[in-house]
Structure 1
């Protein structure tokens, strides 16, 4: 596994956020838009239960590099 291209998934049951380290340009949009979820100094750095599903989706859509994506989980 290339340690420079890690892919991790975080889910709250409704939505799953996918982060790909190799695409991340560290713009900080995620942290500024949703600091209760995106906490780069913590491990894990994405606290998926820190916000509503709608706000998480809105934040992920603002990622300029495409390092953050999401998909809705089937009910």
Structure 2
């Protein structure tokens, strides 16, 4: 079975969401609910905050379900340190 992967971009950064990895810690939407809003579809709006704010919030994802890459780089950055 293939894993679902979703991409959301603001032109500078692309947020990668792997729903099967999500542990529903709520850190994403509690920390940056302008971008991460589970009550909306799509639930990620990459245009709703500055790129740096998005990156900092994605890095806090404890499960690795959220990651990002800078569009000019094309390489994914893991959200787990």
Q: Same fold (TM over 0.5)?
A: yes
Specify the alignment match of 2:4 in structure 1.
6
Question: Which of 17, 26, 35 is the aligned partner of 2:33?
Answer: 35
Specify the alignment match of 1:48 in structure 2.
46
User: How much does 1:41 deviate?
Assistant: 1.1
Q: 1:3-46, CA deviations, whole angstroms, 9 ceiling, x for partnerless residues?
A: xx421000001000000011000100000110000001110000
Question: Which structure has more RCO (C-alpha within 8 Å, separation ≥ 6)?
Answer: 1
Please state which structure has a larger fraction of its residues in helix.
1
Number of matched pairs: 73
TM-score with structure 2 length normalisation? 0.85
TM-score with structure 1 length normalisation? 0.91
Q: Which runs of 4+ in 1 moved over 6 A?
A: none
Task: Let me know the Cα RMSD of the aligned residues.
Answer: 1.4
Specify the alignment match of 1:64 in structure 2.
62
> What secondary structure is seen at the aligned counterpart in 2 of 1:50?
coil
Specify the alignment match of 1:24 in structure 2.
22
Gap runs ≥5 in structure 1:
none
